[in-house]
Amino acid sequence: MAEAIRITDLAHPVLTEIQQMGIDYGEARATNLSVDAVLEAAVDATGLSDFGPDDFEERLELQLTEMDEDPERTGLGRLVMFGDCTRYARNRLRINELLKAHPEILEIPIEKPVIVVGLPRSGTTHLVNLLAADQRFRSMPLWESLEPVSDPTEVIGANGIDPRWTRSQKSWEAMQAGAPLIAAMHPMAPDHVHEENELMAPDFSNYNIEWVARAPAWRDYYLDHDQTSHYAYMKTVLQILQWYQPRDRWVLKCPQHLEQLGPLMTTFPDATIVMTHRDPVAVVQSTITMLAYGARAAYRSVDPVWYLDYWTDRIGRLLDASLRDRELLPTGRTVDVLFDDYMADEMGTLKRVYDVAGIELTDEARGQIAAYQAAHPRGGAGQVMYDLRSDFATTPEAVRSRYLEYMTTYPVRIEVT
């Protein structure tokens, strides 16, 4: 049985020695959160200077300014933000350089992908990893998403390990040391299949920043702007990954797609869509507990109620958009997956997906999936116990009132009472 984990210091963290060292390190550094500083660092690191179209600078400036003007953001939080944006800018430079050298990449087809769409914390990650265990699929591990184009000055080691994998592994080890319960809530190991909206980050337009920062101004900007061009950018990076390592079919997943079904289907008109459904209250309590726990290093005060209010609404916006745009999903190529049904019969759920996608679920594929299941048992890193009443001063009923239309549309079981 998985170890039960109860986080009792969400509002007033009791910091570990490593966490305190990280915060002290960040406070001792002056981090320049400006567009010029980020781009100069990327140019210095790569020796490249052509970022392509410069419209991204407006989006980058908005993201940086919101962090720069937040007095609650710690020095470590500022440093992490600078590091992430610099990595995205480096990736943009290398993507642009590779496409100039190999314009034929833009002609590579991305055909009939299987795309998992659903609320965060609703089983999408486990489902996409099960599908990706079938080696006929092309999927994107975390290490590859973080640096989709390799540094041409680096070479694969004698052990066959890509330096990008090694960097991702070191980051995962640092995360486990600095936030040891993350492994139980959201594994970030290098080979874990990651979300493709990471590939929009070099174009500085996705909702990822909301997961690592308090960014309502960015949320409003992002939701007010058509994301189709950024989905096209993401597809271009997928073409690059396909060029590196070809497969016939991709398997992808991202909760962001719930509110971007139009851009998604414009970009991948022949996709099979797998939409997961779960009690939104279970999603909210898991999400806000994870984010409040992670905030102890990035913010001077955690303020759990801020996360409750923001993410109760944010999950509602995702669901509202998915209901509004449901008619955009392809008839005959959409699979609805109820969380309880999936948990009770993983292989049966996969069989439904394969049937709709027109792919044979072979004995070999079943064996590969079973091997993944055996190596990744549920709750292997422990099971975090959630408590909305104690930790966030609210009730499940109060949170659920935001989602009545969704709850009447899909027969999800109420999990949190």
Render each residue's pLDDT in the chain as its tens digit; 417 residues: 567 889 999 999 999 999 999 999 999 999 999 999 999 999 999 999 999 999 999 999 999 999 999 999 999 999 999 999 999 999 999 999 999 999 999 999 999 999 999 998 888 989 999 999 999 999 999 999 999 999 999 988 888 899 999 999 999 998 888 888 877 788 889 999 999 999 999 999 999 999 999 999 999 999 999 999 999 999 999 999 999 999 999 999 999 999 999 999 999 999 999 999 999 999 999 999 999 999 999 999 999 999 999 999 999 999 999 999 999 999 999 999 999 999 999 999 999 999 999 999 999 999 999 999 999 887 666 688 899 999 999 999 999 999 999 999 999 999 999
Give the total number of structural domains in the chain: 1
Bridge partners, residue 378, by sequence: none
The type of residue at 210 is E
* Phi-psi sector, 303: left (phi>0), alpha (psi -120 to 50), beta: left
Q: Are strands 137-138 and 272-277 parallel, antiparallel or unpaired?
A: unpaired
CATH of the domain at 317: 3.40.50.300
Residue at 61 is within a domain: yes
- State the pTM of this model: 0.95
Residue at 155 is within a domain: no
47 secondary structure, DSSP code: S
The DSSP element (H or E) to which 383 belongs, if any, is: strand 383-385
* Phi-psi sector, 354: left (phi>0), alpha (psi -120 to 50), beta: alpha
Compute the Cα dihedral for 114, 118, 172, 70 and give only its sign: positive
Residue at 340 is within a domain: yes
Q: Give CA–CA dist 28/265, Å, rounded.
A: 47
* Parent domain of 74: 4-149+161-409
Residue at 416 is within a domain: no
Residue at 415 is within a domain: no
Q: Are strands 272-277 and 334-338 parallel, antiparallel or unpaired?
A: parallel
CB 194 within 8 Å of CB 254 = no
Place of tokens 């020095």: 75
Bridge partners, residue 198, by sequence: none
Residue at 172 is within a domain: yes
For the CA atoms of 289, 293, 296, 302, the dihedral, rounded to the nearest 10 degrees, stands at 10
Pair of tokens at residue 104: 């034929």
Place of tokens 């509110």: 259
| Nearby residues of 408 by Cβ (< 8 Å), 6 or more positions away | none
Q: Give CA–CA dist 373/342, Å, rounded.
A: 14
Residue at 353 is within a domain: yes
